[in-house]
């Protein structure tokens, strides 16, 4: 079923997904009810979750059309995708993974979390009602872990979509080291509050971000970092105390409940966080167990959290907030960046200079300014993190590139040009092409030139621009790309022309990169790279894998070049995965090299969504103008 579905056009798949969005809307009441009964979601949390699922359906429907319109490359859908959603967003995240895979042309097996099986089942039933074939979308309930392991590791599975802990990503890779895994994983998120902030607004946003859905969100605020005089403000600490203690905690059946129960009784590290203080810490608001089940707790706030402490660095996933103190904004940013994760981050400040410093240095995928840090909306704030908050390509759910990860690409060769001009290219790319001219035949030179022109267009229209797709005015929702270091590896079965094409894309991206090549790089090209302080290492495949196994890869992404025109360097990717022990910390791109800048620049860039409140009490604010 997956193969036949993948042969449909993007427009044909889009029509089915739009019907799926209507079916989800028609089942809103059932979905809210089952989430409340099964996972303890309040109506206020469940209703926007259904809206998010609906948004995913319509948004991915339109992105399905985009896959057919990429010039220079042809999209090849994965035949089978397994979606393993979490229990904390059992409808929206489950629907998002399923709908993205369907939009991309893949067959889907969805295995809802054990604690939210009914919620997942009602969502899938709505999609079946919309006309999604049952043999294309299969719902499974696996009786034991052994069956789950066999499903995840089965060689017929082309992609696995995971939302869960980083440790779960490690577990999945232990089943199959070369598993193509797209995962949104853990978060340890902070809101920084500076002396220039509106403290009333900051207190409200911190409490909402920390205790919505009892803190059981990967985007939730686990830390608030108070800068300078804010740390000494008794008024601000009193506001946090009053806001937390006034929350109505109860079961979702009571419509006045603001914070519901935990999904199951607190245990392990969460129970430790709710009951045990670290060195130098004290309770500002001590959490209390409110019933015999062990699942209903009042919110807790601890102060005196020290840099490098257990609470500072550990994700707990529950209703407990830590307060840290920083002497200045730079120190606060260091505290936030010190964690292994980079999912969401917030800043409360009315100082443009502070905003500029924070935007330039904070390491997180979703940034929020003078607002809460949860509740990302499809397209408006595409969602996904940096560092150990993401595994795989790192493209954001609800964003323009998410479907790209649900398949591979092959080159669309196009036609040779009648001219060989290099007009419109950056001088750094022109220098590279001219240095390579003497070692390429006419056809390869023309492909390199046309590819570079495609890169330039992609940079101008997409990757080099900061965009606001929603254009709300009073809230700026910006989407941008940031370069990151990459290792480019030419395998023994790769070609010099493909290596040069990838280096051209890397050059346009402005990312730092290093080159490992199985064949010598021409002296003139090597001289150009040396002038830019780009390292070139010549080593055969065995030496490359030996270096990788010894920890010699210093970047979090690798672009492999080699193999054939249909499968690319997939065999080399499997060998590299084994050498790395299946580590989720290195994302490997192994698709065939294409002429499409829209495809080839992505390995060198990571996405960042920035949401800025652009008003003060309804009056437009110029805080961020001229900064971004």
* Active-site annotation, residues: 184
- Are the CB atoms for 223 and 324 separated by under 8 Å? yes
| Residue in the structure block whose two tokens are 């009810």 | 33
Query: What is the enclosing helix (H) or strand (E) of 124?
Result: helix 117-129
- Are the CB atoms for 402 and 55 separated by under 8 Å? no
Alpha-carbon radius of gyration of the chain: 25
Distances (CA, A) of 9 to 61, 76, 331, 396: 11, 12, 51, 23
- Are the CB atoms for 40 and 252 separated by under 8 Å? yes
Query: What is the enclosing helix (H) or strand (E) of 285?
Result: strand 282-285
The residues, ordered by sequence, that sit 6+ positions from 236 with a Cβ below 8 Å of its Cβ are: 193, 199, 202, 203, 226, 230
CA atoms within 13 A on the CB side of 395: 22
The residue among 448, 584, 575, 569 whose CA lies nearest residue 507 is 448
The residue among 297, 301, 343 whose CA lies nearest residue 322 is 301
Residue 492: both structure tokens together? 């023994």
How open is the CA angle 514-411-574, to the nearest 5 degrees? 55
Residue 499: both structure tokens together? 């290596």
d(CA 367, CA 611) in angstroms, rounded, equals 6
- Ranges of beta strands (E only) in 415-500 are 475-483, 486-490
Helices (runs of H) and strands (runs of E) counted in the chain: 21, 26
Q: How many CB atoms lie within 10 A of CB 255?
A: 9
How open is the CA angle 190-194-198, to the nearest 5 degrees? 100
| Helix, strand, coil percent content, the chain, rounded in steps of 5 | 40, 20, 40
The residues, ordered by sequence, that sit 6+ positions from 77 with a Cβ below 8 Å of its Cβ are: 2, 5, 6, 104, 105, 106, 406, 407
How open is the CA angle 316-317-323, to the nearest 5 degrees? 60
């Amino acid at each position: 079923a997956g193969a036949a579905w993948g042969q449909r056009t993007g427009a044909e798949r889009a029509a089915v997904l739009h019907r799926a969005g209507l079916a989800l809307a028609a089942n809103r009441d059932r979905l809210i009810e089952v989430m409340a009964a099964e996972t303890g979601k309040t109506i206020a949390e469940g209703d926007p979750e259904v809206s998010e699922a609906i948004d995913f359906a319509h948004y991915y429907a339109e992105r399905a059309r985009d896959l057919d319109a990429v010039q220079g490359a042809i999209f090849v859908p994965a035949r089978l995708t397994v979606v393993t959603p979490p229990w904390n967003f059992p409808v929206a995240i489950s629907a998002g993974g399923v709908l993205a895979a369907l939009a991309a042309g893949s067959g889907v097996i969805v295995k809802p979390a054990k604690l939210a099986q009914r919620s997942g089942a009602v969502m899938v039933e709505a999609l079946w009602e919309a006309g999604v074939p049952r043999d294309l979308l299969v719902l499974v309930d696996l009786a034991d872990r052994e069956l789950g392991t066999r499903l995840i590791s089965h060689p017929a599975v082309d992609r696995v979509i995971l939302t869960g802990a980083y440790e779960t990503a490690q577990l999945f890779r232990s089943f199959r080291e070369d598993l193509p895994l797209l995962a949104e994983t853990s978060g340890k998120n902070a809101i920084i509050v500076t002396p220039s902030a509106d403290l009333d607004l900051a207190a409200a946003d911190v409490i909402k971000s920390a205790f919505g859905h009892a803190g059981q969100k990967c985007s939730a605020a686990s830390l608030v970092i108070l800068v300078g005089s804010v740390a000494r403000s008794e008024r601000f600490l009193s506001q946090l105390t009053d806001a937390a203690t006034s929350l109505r905690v109860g079961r979702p059946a009571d419509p006045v409940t603001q914070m519901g129960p935990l999904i199951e009784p607190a245990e392990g590290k969460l129970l430790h966080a709710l009951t045990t203080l670290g060195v130098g810490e004290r309770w500002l608001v001590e959490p209390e167990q409110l019933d015999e089940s062990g699942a209903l707790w009042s919110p807790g706030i601890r102060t005196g959290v020290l840099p490098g402490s257990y609470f500072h660095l550990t994700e707990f996933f529950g209703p407990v907030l830590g307060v840290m103190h920083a002497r200045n904004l730079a120190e606060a940013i260091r505290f936030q960046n010190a964690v292994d994760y980079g999912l969401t981050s917030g800043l409360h400040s009315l100082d443009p200079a502070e905003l500029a410093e924070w935007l330039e240095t904070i390491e997180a995928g979703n940034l929020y300014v003078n607002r809460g840090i949860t509740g990302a909306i499809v397209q408006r704030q595409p969602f996904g993190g940096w560092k150990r908050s993401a595994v795989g390509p790192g493209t954001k759910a609800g964003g323009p590139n998410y479907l790209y990860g649900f398949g591979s690409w092959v080159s669309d060769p196009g036609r040779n040009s009648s001219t060989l001009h290099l007009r419109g290219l950056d001088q750094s790319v022109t220098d590279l092409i001219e240095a390579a001219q003497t070692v390429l035949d006419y056809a390869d030179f023309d492909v390199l030139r046309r590819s570079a022109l495609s890169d330039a267009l992609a940079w101008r229209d997409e990757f080099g621009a900061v965009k606001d797709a929603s254009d709300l005015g009073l809230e700026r929702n910006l989407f941008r790309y940031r370069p990151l270091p990459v290792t480019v590896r030419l395998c023994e079965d790769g070609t010099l022309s493909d290596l040069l094409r990838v280096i051209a894309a890397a050059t346009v991206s402005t990312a730092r990169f290093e080159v490992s090549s199985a064949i010598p790089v021409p002296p003139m090209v090597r001289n150009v790279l040396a002038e830019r302080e780009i390292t070139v290492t010549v080593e055969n495949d065995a030496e490359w894998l030996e270096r990788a196994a010894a920890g010699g890869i210093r970047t979090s992404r690798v672009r492999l070049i080699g193999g054939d025109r249909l499968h690319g360097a997939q065999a080399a990717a499997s060998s590299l995965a084994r050498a790395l022990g299946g580590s989720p910390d290195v994302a490997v791109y192994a698709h065939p090299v294409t002429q499409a800048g829209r495809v080839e620049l992505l390995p060198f860039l990571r996405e960042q969504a920035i949401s800025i409140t652009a008003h003060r009490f309804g009056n437009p604010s110029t805080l961020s103008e001229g900064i971004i």
